[in-house]
Structure 1
Amino acid sequence: MFGRVRAWGRRHSGIVEALWLAPFLLFSLSNVWTIGMEDGARRFSPELDFSGFLLLGVLLTVPLFWLRRQPITVFVVVSLVCFVQWLLGVQLLFFDLSVLIAMYGVVSRCATRWAVGAGLVGELGLLLAFWHPRTGIDLRAFASASVVTVAIWITGIYASTRRRYLEGLEERAERAEYERDQQARLAAAAERVRIARELHDVVAHNVSVMIVQADGASYAIDHEPEQAREAMRAVSLTGRRALAEMRRLVGVLRAGDAPQEYTPQPGLSQLDDLVAQVRGSGLPVDFRVTGAPQELPEGEQLTVYRIVQEALTNTLKHGGPRSRATVEMEYGAREVLLRVTDDGCGAAAPGREGGHGLVGMRERAAMFGGSVEAGPLAGGGFRVVARLPIGETGTGRAA
């Protein structure tokens, strides 16, 4: 509410200035009207006739309409008019209150040095106004006027401090909102990268299995139709499984969908199913677990699953016929050692190097402070070795 009022005031500064100066202007107009009706300008100030009185009032009040936009200029103009008034020997008039209004405008809107300067000029003006060549300074009148001037000056300082405090709050709020939006954008970008990596693993693995099964079915369809039908059932099952997992991954990006509608992320308990699926596609896989199994965070379990999935997918794609694979998972005191080895064509495979698969495996392991080494074996074949920390070391680095 207060912010909307301030914004409206900035858009309609002229109306705000008129409302702010309305009491002073009404008082001034009523006095001018009274003096004009009574023809008492000379009786009120013998040095001025009515036209001079009216001109002085205009010079001292009209500049106040620009006080919000140019407070220093307005204060200088009003102060100079008052100084000329003093030089002409014209006594104090109610129009001279415009000096205090202009001083308040400078103190409440300008820097400290300008506020101090405006206060000193105001006090100097009082000193000149209450100084008489014969009797000197009227200390009582000067002290009373100084109290009013200092009170207005302090009020302006308070208004300036409060305005800067509110501006600081607005700036911090805007900065916090910007940082919040920036964090949201970064989180969205990271989520997109994660989804892209998950989709790559899912599509690459399942499509490779489907290709192998389809090739086997094409070879067996003439001589062993039942085996071909089994292969095509495996293709259908793999395709449905891949489609379901892709829907789960893409579904998390849709606003308003409940997380419980999607299956959980795969973990260590699904490794047997993964190995069985690969075996069903025609690749013999030996899966061994050694050491005392320990509880791993869900993120690390997913990382182990995806590394095994990617390594076996590469064997399906590049290992060649009659290749075999071995998956070894060893629990140590502080880390999990994962080795996936095959005896296929290894380094002879043209597409074995680079790609997003190995990069994705290294990125996944690095999230938990682990590492991945991959490369061809000397006698043929390929090996992937991953190390992931267990316990506080892993979870701490992941955070």
Structure 2
Amino acid sequence: MRTTPGSPRAWLRRHPLFGDSALAAVLAGVSIAATVVIGTGDTSGYGPAKAPDALSVTLIVLGLAPLVLRRRWPFVLLCVAALPQIALAALHYDGGSTAVASLILLYTVAAYRGLALSLAAAAVAALAYALKVILDDDPANWTRHTFAMVVAIAVWVVGRSVRLRRAYLAELVDRAERLERARDADTRAARAEERSRIARELHDVVAHHVSVMTVQAAAARKVLDTRPEAAKDALMAIEEMGRTAMREMRGIVGVLRTDGETGELSPQPGMGDLPGLVDQMREAGLRAQLWIEGERRILPPGIDLAAYRLIQEALTNSLRHAGPAARAWVTVRHEPSELLVQVEDDGLGGTGEFARGPDDRPGHGLVGIRERVALYGGILRIGPRHGGGFEVRARFPLKD
């Protein structure tokens, strides 16, 4: 049963000391009033009771006072509360509602403490009741004793059930929180991976097209005065290359839209677009050639895009760093169990890694290539070519 915030029950749950104090005061008042009104009547079941006096009232108050702090030290207070009750039985006073205090403390131990301590509390309550029975003038009243035992067992079982239910609900809440945290972590990881993929795609698109446009612009500037028609052709190629770059960038960035719009979607490039890529590089001034060996087969989309981006990045770096008279060769070999991609040039590229000019800053091309190849379990080699130049070679395993 859920508690409405701001209700009296919710306030009492936030201030348990007030409720327990009120409970102890009510039980004490009822017990004292009952013993005073009834007088010497047998209300406790321990035989003829003495007339109430200051001692009996004091013992009743001491027997019910532990209820005030029952949530803090229930087991200790259960032991303390048993002493005034035993004293009342030994002196043949009417104990009033002091037995109820023992039941409440027994329930508190069972509901808020572990199994071992709750069993110890049950043993203490049984021992205290046995001592009161021994001190009773009528210990053979088995009906009353059996009823008291059944009530005590029922109270203990209810307390344990409440504790187990509370622990079960706490476990469900904790599990839900763990699942929520795990889901948030998975979402953040997926977003980071998607951002990394988009960054690689943007780099490949921008680096390739801007590099080609830069070379075309430089060529147009050199022949602008002497060969205006050639400069016009170079400017038209730059215009077309810029439109292509914008179209691809819209397709990539379109997935980042959050306002419900859809970007201009177009198929991702693949190995079938290699002839067009090589033609672009030739128009930009790189003497590139393409060889495709083996029986062509349909490649997985991821490997298809990764191999294309690798060739695009390698040719772009050859265009930028190999020199004006360099040649480049692209070899694609389809084998039954793997795809071999090799790009090499005979230019003046640097050693060890993709060379960079004095005006270039380290980019993400090499990192992106390594990530793409490693993602599909491939093997990558980047370095100087035997006999001069530079070489990029990758092997992608193909599964049936």
TM bin, normalised by shorter chain, reads 0.7 to 0.9
Shift in alpha-carbon separation, 1:273–1:24, aligned structure 2, 3 A: farther
Choose the corresponding residue for 1:250, options 242, 247, 253: 253
Q: Which residue of 1 aligns with 2:149?
A: 146
Partner of 1:101: 104
**Alignment correspondent of 2:46:** none
Cα displacement (A) at 1:176: 0.8
Please give the alpha-carbon distance, in whole angstroms, between the structure 1 residues aligned to 2:285 and 2:4: 70
| TM-score computed with the length of structure 1 as normaliser | 0.85
Structure 2 partner of 1:356: 364
Evaluate the alpha carbon distance shift between residue 77 and residue 225 of structure 1 in structure 2; reply closer, same or farther with a 3 A threshold: farther
Equivalenced residue count is 387
Could you list the runs of 5+ residues in structure 1 that have no partner in the other structure? Answer: 393-399
The one-letter amino acid paired with 2:290 is: F
Where do 1:194-213 residues align within 5 Å?
194-213=197-216
Bigger drift between 213-222 and 282-291 goes to 282-291
Partner of 2:389: 381
Deviation string 1:165-202 (CA, Å, 9 cap, x unpaired) is 11111111111111111111111222222222222222
Q: Is the contact between residue 41 and residue 53 of structure 1 (CA under 8 Å) also seen in structure 2?
A: no
CA distance in 2, matches of 1:296, 1:214: 36
In 2, Cα distance between equivalents of 1:117 and 1:214: 91
Secondary structure at the counterpart of residue 286 of structure 1 = strand
Match of 2:13 in 1: 13
Shift of 1:41: 5.0
Q: Which residue of 2 aligns with 1:280?
A: 283
Q: Give the share of equivalent positions with the same residue, in percent.
A: 37
CA, structure 1 residues 252+77, in 2 after alignment: closer, same or farther (shift >3 Å)?
A: farther
Alignment of 1:11-160 (within 5 A): 13-15=13-15, 29-30=29-30, 32-33=32-33, 38=37, 40=38, 46=50, 48-49=52-53, 55-86=58-89, 88-132=91-135, 136=139, 138-160=141-163
2:293 to 290, 302, 323: 290
For 1:4 and 1:272, locate their aligned partners in 2 and report how far apart those are by CA, in whole Å: 72
Matched, 1:345 2:348: yes
Q: Which residue type is aligned with residue 357 of structure 1?
A: G
User: Which stretch of the first structure deviates more once superposed, 150-159 or 270-279?
Assistant: 270-279
Q: CA RMSD in A?
A: 3.2
Matches within 5 A, 1:174-323: 174-257=177-260, 261-323=264-326
**3-state SS in 1 of match to 2:121:** helix
Q: Do structure 1's residue 372 and structure 2's residue 380 form an aligned pair?
A: yes
Higher mean alpha-carbon deviation, 343-352 vs 329-338, is at: 343-352
Compare 78-87 and 217-226 and name the one that shifted more: 78-87
Q: Secondary structure at the match of 2:286?
A: coil
Of stretches 305-314 and 259-268 in structure 1, the one that deviates more from structure 2 is 259-268
Contact 1:283 1:325 in 2 (8 A): yes
Amino acid at match of 1:342: D
CA contact (8 A) 1:75 1:102 kept: yes
TM-score using structure 2 length: 0.85
